[in-house]
A and B are shown apart, each in its own frame.
Chain A
């Protein structure tokens, strides 16, 4: 009891430290930085007393150096496929500097930026979340791109966090029937925090296929908000795979502004040692005939902790919504813990909403079956774990699939 009362004070101290260590408010994000810093000075750091943070301890952050990281520009990835633009996000320099954008892709002007930035965060009701305000306070650059109507593009975003703070801000506007395949790779090479806020606005009939592979280390944290607004007939697929982070928190926030859109969410988080991975997804349907297909998977080993909270809101105007959510967890160690909570709120009678959750270890009969065919026990269990993860991995787009070999996953876990 006493510990939990003193902890927030200690955390508050480090946020003050971090704020002091940030460069002066400046650049095209000056107003945002100002706002974030003011908010952070007021906002208590989330603690277990808040329902949304009940199981996710931010203690790891307290020990970090909060100054901006000097991130290396080479992530050690194989070269991209021809015709695919790869942008490096180092948190300091303009990622578009010296880059020739392909046809159909254009940076947002300052006036467009001031209109669009934060719009989707507000629409998905997360603009005041602590991790978002932290990003506001610290972000030096924003990658703001428009995908022109009817064009079809592939883009890679790569970031490597060294010791310290790596704030990343991305804003994407997909015009009517624009298509974007976006592969994102986030890794850590030092004790630090990657703070990502990505907003995407999908116009009518637009398609976004976002795949994110995030491979961390025990002394690194990742806080990611992925906020998507979808106009009718648009389709968004978000597949995130995270492993190895001391602390990783994903908050996909989707709003189908007028229904009739399709959303696919795939998540895989792997925890080992004393790692914590947390996904809080939030999907709201503000119109009829929306579709959701969500699969969240977690593998918890060692003393790892996996948290999943999946909110689905189907208000009265969202008739004929068809939503399915499934959460599956593999609990591999008796010191690991999992907490999962779907949250369905439905006020419409003509809807299909199903959800399910399972928690188990590897099935002994499946293991036995493999062993009875001559496969060694550890090999058999590796096979089954791979099969478990594969269901999410196969939905990663293009290059992201290459970045995320199963061996990587378990090695970093």
Chain B
């Protein structure tokens, strides 16, 4: 929902970033207000995933220029865990498996870290179990997954549901979901999208990173951005996604080529 007077949650200005020696982001600009759902689309290698990693503070990426402010605060100056605690959430494209670490324990420690930041009280094991069981409904997940190690042996769909469960527990203000739809069958996609829709409200915002329309059939974006060569090339409403679906990405290349001096190499 677009409300011009809604507070700005996230403001990205001229963001440049590289991984190792390779420049990937080359001047990204994006403003996200409360209540909005943004979709960032683009081909593989256009820089979408890098954008999400940079926002979450992955150590392999170096910001070389630009700024990101989150509710007026310099986000880039914060360690990854602080970003999470103040309400920035990254849903991973490939959630990592962590053998031995109990999923339930992990969820509890993370939830309590977020609550402590908000001045809430720490939940003990019992109180937390009540909370987590309630939130499991958001993604229709089997409680048995709580007793397993974090993501270990989970199917692709189970991993993605576990991501949304974390989102439901941490209640972020800005959720960036990186290719949440990849590897999901149609039922899992419906459940995951349903979860995202349930969690979206007037105070928070969602940034969906995807290159297919099918996720956007289930979650309606307010804005669609097309990324190419490390920048946002075009911004429009949900109809832009449909246009992409119809015309493919070839026109992006043409548009890009027309735009000197940005080089054509795609990172």
A and B touch in the complex (CB under 8 A): no
